[in-house]
Chains A and B, each alone.
Chain A
C-alpha cells in the first residue's frame, strides 16, 4: 500500500478532486488568456496557470511535496520576473522612454523610523536568531531591512552592506555543506542540521537585508 494506514481515508480521497480543481483552474486561466488581448493582462492571467501548478504539486501532501512546492514557487516567480522585464524593455524600446524597475527613492516620512529603530531592529534580529532556519532568517531580515530603512531616512552612509552580500554567499555554502552531510554521512546529522539551519538563517536574513543595498544604489543616483 502506497499510503500508510494512519492517514485517514478521507484525506486520501481528497487527492483526485484536488487534481481536478488544479487542472480546472489552469483551464480557466488559459480561457482568460485566450479572451484577453492586452499583454499585461495576459501576463497576470498566466500567473493563475502557475498557481494551478502549485495546487497540483501540493495535492501530493507529503513532506516531499512541501519540498517540491518551494522550487516550483521560485521557478514561477523567476519566470514572471523575467517575462515582465522583457515586457518592460520592449515597451521602453517602443516608446523610447526609460523607466526604473523600483520607483525609489520613497518618501518614508514615518515617525517610527526616527524614534525607535535600534531597539526594534535588535529585537527582531535577536528573535530571528532564536528561531533559526527559514522563519528566523525572514524575521531577522525584516529587522535588518528596518534598520537600513531608518538609517537611510536619517542620511547615514552605509558601507556595511557590501559585506552583507559576502556573508550571504558564505552562508549559502554552509547550507549546501549541511545538506551534503545529511546525504553522505547520515550518522553526524546533528552537525548537518546546525550547519544548514544557521546557514539558512544568515542567508535569508542577508538576502532581505540586501534589499537595502539596492535601495542605496537608487539613492546614490539622486
Chain B
C-alpha cells in the first residue's frame, strides 16, 4: 500500500544508497515516543516492592541492589534505543535485526534476578525467541529473494505482490510474535514481569507493543491488501 495512505503525509526520504529511510508523522511519533520513554527510564530509580508477610503483620521489602540496578538500566536503555530504531528504519532486514536485539536484551534484563521461577520463564522465552529467528529472518530473506529489494520505500512502490511475499509475511508475523512474546507465546513473558525493578521491566512490555504496531504497518506496505 502507498506509504502516504497508511502512515500519513510523506515528509521526506534520506537517500543512503539503496537503503532509503522515509519519514512520516506515524514513524516520527513512534520514534519520539520510544526515545522519550527511554529517557524517562534512564533518569528514573527502581521501585521497591513491598510484600505482605503471610501470617503476620510485618511487611517485607524487596530491593534491587545497585550493581543489578545498573546493568538492568543499561540493558533497558539499549532495548529502548533498539525499539526506536525499529520504529524509524526503512530497511526490512534492519527491522528484523532490531526486533532480534530487543529479544536478546529482554532476556538480559531479567537474567540477573534471583527468583528461580523468573529465570525459568526467561529460559523458555529465550528458546522461543531463538526458534522465532527462523521465520523472522527467513521471511525477510524471502522478501529479498522474490522482490529484489529490502527497502520498504521501494517495496511500497511495487505494483503487485508475488505469492512468495505473502508467504514471507506470514513467516514475518510468526517471527515477530515469537521474538516479542505476544500471544500465543505470552505465558512466559507474563511470568518474567514478576520481579522487582519495575521501570526497567516495563520497557519489555512497551517494546513489544510498539514493534507489533510497526509490524502491521510494514505488512500493509509490502502486501497490497487494498
Tell whether A and B belong to one assembly: yes
Which positions in A face B, CB cutoff 8 Å?
A: 2, 15, 19, 22-23, 26, 29-30, 33, 39, 42-43, 46-47, 49-50, 52-53, 56-57, 59-60, 64-65, 68, 71-72, 75-76, 78-80, 82-83, 85-87, 89-90, 93-94, 182-184, 186
Task: Beyond A49-B134, A86-B123, list 9 extra A-B contacts (CB 8 Å).
Answer: A29-B131, A33-B127, A42-B127, A46-B130, A75-B101, A79-B107, A83-B107, A90-B123, A93-B116
Query: For the complex, is B133 an interface residue (Cβ under 8 Å from A)?
Result: yes
User: CB < 8 Å: which of A2, A26, A46, A57 contacts B141?
Assistant: A57
List residues of chain A with CB within 8 A of the CB of B140: 68
Residue among A19, A89, A184 making CB contact with B142, cutoff 8 Å: A19
Given contact pairs A43-B127, A71-B97, A183 touches B137 in the complex (Cβ within 8 A): no
Let me know if B103 and A56 touch, CB within 8 A: no
Residues of A close to B127: CB separation below 8 A = 33, 42-43, 46, 83
**Shortest distance between the CB of B97 and any CB in chain A (Å):** 5
Q: How far is the CA of A1 from the CA of B109 in the complex (A)?
A: 47
> What 10 A-B pairs come out closest when comparing CB atoms?
A83-B126, A56-B138, A90-B119, A53-B134, A57-B141, A183-B16, A75-B100, A82-B107, A79-B130, A60-B145
Contact B137 A53 (CB under 8 A): yes
On chain A, the residues within 8 Å of B19 by CB distance are 183
Give bound CA distance, A68 to B100, whole Å. 13
A-B contact pairs, 17 of them (CB 8 A): A22-B134, A46-B131, A57-B138, A68-B144, A71-B97, A75-B97, A79-B100, A79-B107, A79-B133, A82-B104, A83-B126, A83-B127, A83-B130, A89-B111, A90-B120, A90-B123, A182-B17
- Give the nearest-CB partner of B108 in chain A: A82
A64 vs B100: C-alpha distance in the bound complex, in angstroms? 19
